[in-house]
Amino acid sequence: MGRRTFRAHSLRKRASAMVLKSVLREPLVHFLLLALLIFAAYGAIGTDAKDRPDSIVVTAPKIEQMAILFTKTWQRSPTAEELKGLIDDYVKEEILVRQALALGLDKDDTVVRRRLRQKMEFLNVADADALGATDAELEAYLAANPRAFDVDAKLAFQQIFLNPERRGETVARDATSNLQVLLTNPAVDYTSLGDATMLPSDLPLTDKTSIAQTFGMDFAEALDKAPVGQWTGPVLSSFGFHLVRVVERKPGRVPSLDEARDAVTREWINAKRRKLDDQRFAELFKGYVVRIESLTDAKTSP
């Protein structure tokens, strides 16, 4: 019995040792031990730091945040020396910032003022992002702002290009002549007419905005008014003269909520954010008396 008890005890000790070795190999354990050691070292230097009005306390969560940011940047955990360097730099920054504030260096600094304003405005961002819109609220926002989510009109068309640089003064007359050929002989191969160009002769359904970006807004507007299934022209573009035939037209429309849910949700949150910002500023404004001097009150002319 004694031997069995001794053997069982030995096996338990061996198993415990193996588990301990396995745990100690974990990087997270290394980091926690490292953070505790550094934190303890700073604590030993000034154990009464919290009781002093000019104290700087580097908390464990702050140290962990530094280490996580380092790990994300360098794809590895910081060494003890590197972690100490991060803490030293944080303490140095805190001391210098406090001294700068004490000297009033933040006053009348445009960059500092803009940054502080941004940080105050960012306080509203998290609150707005946390808001959840119901389908009814999104439907109401879409109905109130239909133009912001319009699905652009789409057109499919064919075109024949006549190059004014090649044809000179005869380009308008040639366009009219080719149009007559197309109207009197619908079976003619339209691609055999006109001049060579890198522009496509046959475009599938394309939104009006994209057409305007390629051919110009005047061309897109003329195309939008052209009859379907009939050659017409000449139509001017940023390249020259064209004969065009609209094959299909899909008018613009307001999308359903399911089609535009992401865009509507994003704009709904932005609107809520602006509203929150205005409300909070209005509350802050109540605590101030604002006096705006006229130019005649100034000692010197601008």
CATH number at residue 184: 3.10.50.40
Residue 132 lies in a domain: yes
In-domain check, residue 234: yes
CA-to-CA distance for 262 and 55, rounded, in angstroms? 48
Residue 18 within a domain? no
Q: Are residues 165 and 208 in the same domain?
A: yes
* One domain, residues 132 and 265: yes
Residue 135, domain extent: 112-150+254-302
Q: Say yes or no: 186 and 230 in one domain.
A: yes
| 4 within domain boundaries | no
Number of domains in the chain: 3
Both 157 and 233 in one domain: the answer is yes
Q: Do 93 and 160 sit in the same domain of this protein?
A: no
Tens digit of pLDDT per residue, the chain (302 long)?
455 554 545 555 564 555 445 544 555 545 555 555 555 555 554 445 455 557 888 888 888 888 999 999 999 999 989 988 888 888 888 888 888 888 888 787 888 888 878 877 776 666 665 667 888 988 898 888 888 888 888 889 999 898 888 888 888 888 888 888 888 888 888 888 888 888 888 899 988 888 888 898 889 888 888 889 899 888 888 888 999 999 998 888 888 888 888 888 888 888 888 888 888 888 877 887 777 666 565 555 44
pTM for the structure as a whole: 0.45
Q: State how far the Cα of 202 lies from the Cα of 215, in Å rounded to an integer.
A: 14
For residue 235, tell me if it sits in a domain. yes
